Amino acid sequence: MNVGALKEQLEGEARVALTPDSAAALQKLRHACAIEAGAGEKAGSSCARR
């Protein structure tokens, strides 16, 4: 399965669909994850690869 997380566009919204930890867990289950650059910035999550 392919899973994607987009950067939130709504003003004042800080949610993010995937965290680095949840993406890693999905990848261990052989799911592909695509996360838009900067998607977690407002939520305090960086784009750094783990």
47 or 18: whose pLDDT is higher? 18
Tens digit of each residue's pLDDT (9 = 90 or more) over 9-32: 888 888 888 888 899 999 999 999
- How much is the average pLDDT of 19-48? 86
Residue type at 3 in one-letter notation: V
Q: How many angstroms separate the CA atoms of 36 and 32, rounded?
A: 13
Taking the whole predicted model, whether its pTM rises above 0.85 is answered as no
pLDDT band at 47 (very low <50, low <70, confident <90, very high): low
Sorted by sequence, the CB contacts under 8 Å of residue 21 that are 6+ apart come out as 50
Positive/negative CA dihedral, 15, 12, 43, 27: positive
- For residue 41, what pLDDT is reported? 81
CB-based contact 24:3 (threshold 8 Å):
no
